[in-house]
Structure 1
Amino acid sequence: MSSRQHVHFNPKAKSWTSPKPTYSPKAIDRFHRSLPNYEPTPLVKLESLANEVGVGAVYVKNETSRFGLPAFKILGASWGAFRSIVEKLNLPLDSDIDTVRDAAQMHQLTLYAATEGNHGRAVARMAAILDVAAEIHVPASMHPSTIKLIGSEGAEVVVSKGRYEDAMHEAEAASKHDKGIMVQDTAFGDYQSVPQVSHSSPTEIARQLTALKWIVDGYGTMMREVDDQLGSTNADLVIAPVGVGSFAQSVVSHFKRNGAFTSMITVEPDTAACLWKSLENGELTDISTTGTIMAGLNCGCPSTIAWELLKNGVDASLTVSDYEAHEAVQYLQSHGINAGPCGGATLAALRRLTASDKNKLGLHGHSTVVLFCTERNRDYEVPMAT
């Protein structure tokens, strides 16, 4: 245990405020409410956990079922697809879902994405809502059961012979026709080491980053639900998991806005701590990762656009072991939250804080903490105790 990463603190984050949004949060919320079966996901209060860690209240934002899917990803995929279609077809931004569906069908559009699981299934679900085609590219290593789930949404699933990055390149190439729209939650500009995408033009990279920003903006609906559910209570601390950082970017954008008084912790696997390492180095850093049950967090470099906010707005960054995540999963399941390892990581992070850490973050016996549980349970190999 002595060799693990220490908690990285950024005292300047306490006074930092995120840039004012250039989009209308109300428009995004209105869009999501117009989708079939929308309802806010639960904010679950865990009194025993609050007593355990010595704070006033701990809440878990339970994203184990969002629009019937096992993760939060459709919030971003749906808004990203909507914005991309509106821009491609020159439709008014306030178009309703029926108008966009009719236009997308008339132009016979196809949505494309590469995925390691949840994002691709979310894009496929959005294509089904719009009644248009979807082509989802996946890495060769993807489990057949995951491929089947994506296909169950009506998408054509194309299995690459290579890695996720190769699937990204293949999806982008396939989308290069006048009826294709790429809906990707990672920009190719973040993969400069991949030969096929390292020569993307500045214009193309700018387009990818804009499309990614729409996806990140879509995640913001979750944050505003938390505000509504807390009512007059202020979240003193929020904890978010990090893969490439797009979700954490949405969290920091919201909870570090002007007038908010919330600290933020990010959590990564011990074996895939790309944000932690980048924060330690003071610059974006590529790392080699090894396997983890927190598969959705197994990333080697943060997103370039997420980095600009995370390096300034994250108060503390830490890592947890697979076993700590597994213990958190067991605890959450015993309290009626069917979490997976990525979802349990935030609880594991809270448990890892020492008294000194809590003092640095300003936590006390009346503080309110919000944990983001981003993933439903799935099969994984139970790790050894550490």
Structure 2
Amino acid sequence: MNDHVADRPPGSGALGRRGFLTATAIAAAGAALGAAEGPARAASRINRSSSAGAFTVPGEEVRHTRTWMAWPDSTTIWRGKLGGVQANIALIAKTIAKYEPVVMCANPASASKARSMCGPTVTVITSIAVDDCWMRDTGPVFRTNGAGGLDAVGLNFNGWGNKQTHYRDELVAEKIAAHVGVPITYADLVAEGGAIEQDGAGTLMATRSSIINNNRNPGMSQSQIEAAMRTAYGASKVIWFDGVYGQDITDDHVDATSRFLAPGRALVQMPMASDNDAYAKDARQQYQILSTSTSAGGAPMAVTKLQGPDYYKIRSSSPDFVAAYVNYYVCNGAVISSHFGDTSADAAAKATLVRLFPGRTVVQLNTDYLGAGGGGIHCVTQQQPAP
């Protein structure tokens, strides 16, 4: 993730996706449990006789059949912040449901609460068990073939490098694919959906820190990992950024800093000029690399800057807070983003998104509990494109 301000006053809330390194008891337990089974189980499910063929992952802006989400219910992970996180998840689901169907995966014990908080416009199912709410990372990445076909690819989720338990979440991708009734192929690498951004026309972007990392893909070279990414996504080019190693649970997912708007067009959230921590440097590098890159089709990349907020003006004082406007979700007819309490920056970000997404309604939500947990709206959603 990006834009962390190191000298923020310490928070006392949940196990944030940045703050995991300081919560040694839970982090160590999660890593130990995950290491015992996670990679072995994931490896056993990798389908190396891929039939990807003409299937590709489309851009997020294509029409969706539905959005998939997951209902959090773990007090071990969220501690006293669980209620606030659930309220954020419900708000996001109800907002998206105004534009397209939303299916919420909930454990049986918490399904009634999910239904009560999400309301009748959101479909809650109990057949797909979950550990946490980060559907972008645990869910299947759907692909289309341009001829009415739909399938899915699984990225072998292993708890962000075995930093969190994931016995249920590592099975979410295949269970959703089965629920939809489409085949799933497992990629020849371990990654998460938030770690790879696609333009739908052959170009991917990602951080080395998140994917070329021994906690996910030990012994694999960049060229091997890149080949696996291109095969899984039906792409032909990867734009790499260095990223930030070991400072958050995701090892710096690209979708909190840079996004594709369309083939040959990208958006980067920029830090304040006075910010000079690792995430600020990472964002500036991402902008510089994209500005000198070309798309898979050979066109120069047109890159737009979106100014991030001043962390001293936002509502949250959590040191793990991720104030990423670019962690928005594009759904049918709308763009769902966040506001953080820096009123001028919030308004400017909305104006930028309105300009960049003509014909779509831009909605900003207060998702501060998720932000304090190290994520945002894109992190907790996964689109199912119309075939």
Shorter-chain TM band = 0.3 to 0.5
Which structure: larger Rg?
A: 1
Q: Which has the larger share of helix? A: 1
User: TM-score with structure 1 length normalisation?
Assistant: 0.32
User: TM-score with structure 2 length normalisation?
Assistant: 0.32
Q: Which has the larger share of strand? A: 2
